[in-house]
Structure 1
Amino acid sequence: MHGDSLKLLSKMNPECIDMVFADPPYFLSNDGITCNSGRMVSVNKGEWDKIGNNSPNVEEKHRFNRKWIKLCKRILKPNGSIWISGTLHNIYSIGMALEQEGFKIINNITWQKTNPPPNLACRCFTHSTETILWAQKADKKAHHYFNYELMKEQNGGKQMKDVWLGSLTKPSEKKAGKHPTQKPEYLLERIVQASTKENDIILDPFCGSGTTGVVAKRLGRRFIGIDTEEEYLTICKKRLETESNGEKEL
C-alpha cells in the first residue's frame, strides 16, 4: 500500500495481524558523511528520514515512535508479536515507546555485521551492530509463538543466542533497485521462521524495497506492506514477482 503508515494503520481492522516487522526511519539525514563501497557519500536518505523538512529533535522522534507503535498494537492479534530494528539513533526511544504503549520486550537481538563500513572520523569505535527488539503485548493472557526447536536445529542442536552474526545485504538482493537501509534476506528468514506459522499474516509498516514481503512469500506467509515512497514500492513489486516466478538470486 502506498501512503502514510499512521493513516493506513488506523484504518485496518483490530487484531488482524500475526506479526509486525518494522524498520522505521532512523532520522540520520543530517547532512553528514559516511562510507559506502569505499567512497565518501552523504548520510542523507531522503525526506522520509525526516519529520517535516528538518531532522527532528528528541521529543518529535519519540512522539512519532509512540504513534506508530500504538497503532501496531491495535492491529496485532492477542498472541502476536512485533520486531523492530534500529541503531543507537532511535532504538532507545523505540524501547521506551514499546513499554509506554503496553508491550513487553521478549528479546534484545544484537545483529553483528561482519563487513560494516569504516568509521571515517576515526574518533570512536566502528559502528558494526544494529539492535532488533522483539516484543509482545504486556498481557498475562498473551502467549507469543516461538519455534524453539527449529531455531535450536539451525544452531547445531544448541539454544540460539541473541547475538546474530552476518554480512550486510548482498548486491544480488539489490538487482531490482537500491534502498539505503535494505535488510538482508537471511535476517528476515530467521525472524519469520522463529515467530510465525505458515499462512500467518505479516505486516511491514515501512516496507521499503520489500525484503519482509519476499521472505514471507518464500516461506508461505501472507504479507501486507506500507511505504510512503512509490519508488521503493516499485522495487518491492519487482522482487515479489521474481520470487513468484521462482527466479533464484545468486
Structure 2
Amino acid sequence: MRQPFYQNNLIRLYQGDSLQLMQKMADNSIDVIVADPPYFLSNGGFSNRGGKKVSVDKGAWDQVNDKYETSEIFNDLFLKESRRILKPHGTIWVFGSLHNIYEVGYLMKQHDYRILNNITWQKLNPPPNLSCRMFTHSTETIIWARKFAKQKHYYNYDLMREYNHGKQMKDVWSTPVIKQSERKFGRHPTQKPLAIITRIIEASTTEEMLVLDPFIGSGTTAVACQLLNRHCIGIDLSPEYLEIAKRRIHNEEETLF
C-alpha cells in the first residue's frame, strides 16, 4: 500500500482508486468490509434537496467510464476482490438502492457469498418525489453476507437484543437521514448516518478486528471505528472528501481525550 493520506493509532486513510488498492491487499487480511459503492445514478437527472430541484450528478466517481464500462463490471471486480481479502470468518455489508442492489445481490451469489440478512434502512424524513408519478423513495437496502457458506461469523446477538429492549433486533432499521452535526466539516452527497454505521460495527466486530471501507467518502465508518476503538482502513478517490473525513476523526479524538 502507498503512503497514507492520514493515520492515527486506529485509522488509516488512503487516496486512490479503491479497486486498484484492494488488489494490492493481502489475501485473508480483513475481518469486515463496510461498503457504500457508487450507485451510478449521475446521468443528468434531477432530485430533491431541502424542497429544491437539484441535479443528481454527484461526480465522475458515480459514472461508468472507460475503465469500468458498466456497473456490473465494477461491482463484479469489487466483490471478487472483497472475497479474496476477507478472512475465512469475514463478513461484508453493502449499501444500495433499487438501482443497484439487485445486481449486487446477484453477483454475490455468483461469487459464492452466503447472504445473511437483507437490512431495510427506513429514512424517517425522506425528500418528496418531484415527479408525483410514483411512491416516495424512503428506503435503502444493506446486504450483509459472509465469505463462506459454512464458516462461523461473528454477530453480537446479546448487544443487539439489549438495544432492542430485550427482543431480537429486526431487519428494518429506522432513522432520520443525517444529523446536521454530522455535516459540520462538509457535505458528501451519499453520506450515511453515524447511527447506522455504528450499529453495523457493533453488531459484526470486536475490538481485535480490522474493518475496511473501500468507498469511505466523508469518513463515517472511520468515525464509528474511532468511537468504538476498532482499527479501520478507508479508501476514497477524492482528496476533498478525505479531508472532511480527517477533520471528523480529529474532532472525535478531541472529544474522547
Q: Give TM class, smaller chain.
A: over 0.9
Moved more, 120-129 or 191-200: 191-200
* Equivalent position of 1:194 in the other structure: 203
Find the residue that maps to 1:246 and give its secondary structure. helix
Which blocks of at least 5 consecutive residues in structure 1 are unaligned? none
Match of 1:227 in 2: 236
| Matched AA of 2:49 | N
- The correspondence of residues 75-90 of structure 1 with structure 2, limited to 5 A, is 75-90=85-100
Matched, 1:91 2:91: no
Q: Aligned runs of 1:45-84 on 2, under 5 Å?
A: 45-52=58-65, 60-84=70-94
Query: % of aligned pairs identical?
Result: 53
Give the aligned residue type for 1:101.
H
2:203 match: secondary structure:
helix
Contact 1:209 / 1:236 at 8 angstroms: preserved in 2?
yes
Say if 2:25 is the partner of 1:15: no
C-alpha distance in 2 between matches for 1:129 and 1:202? 25
Partners of 1:52 and 1:64 in 2: CA distance: 10
**Structure 2 residue 132 is matched with structure 1 residue 122:** yes
The letter of the residue matching 1:232 is Y
Equivalent runs, 1:168-207 vs 2, <5 Å: 168-207=177-216
- Inter-partner Cα distance in structure 1 for 2:147 and 2:47: 37
Assess if the C-alpha contact under 8 Å between 2:216 and 2:234 holds in 1: yes
Q: Which moved more, 1:120-129 or 1:93-102?
A: 93-102
Is 2:43 aligned against 1:30? yes
Q: Equivalents in 1 of 2:233, 2:147: separation in Å?
A: 21
Residue correspondence of structure 1 range 211-222 to structure 2 within 5 A = 211-222=220-231
Structure 1 runs (4+) greater than 6 angstroms displaced: none
- What is the alpha-carbon root mean square deviation over aligned residues? 1.6
Equivalences, count: 244
Q: Cα deviation per residue 1:155-180 (whole Å; 9 max; x = unaligned)? A: 00000100011110111101111000
Give the conservation status (yes or no) of the 8 Å contact 2:218–2:242: yes
Structure 1 counterpart of 2:170, one-letter code: K
- Letter of the 1:103 counterpart: Y
**Uncovered stretches (5+) of structure 2, i.e. residues with no partner:** 1-13
Task: Give the partner amino acid of 1:102.
Answer: D
DSSP 3-state at the match of 1:192: helix
Query: What do residues 122-158 of structure 1 show as CA deviations (whole Å, max 9, x unaligned)?
Result: 0000000000000001342x11100000000000000
Q: CA shift at 1:247, angstroms?
A: 6.8
Amino acid at match of 1:104: R
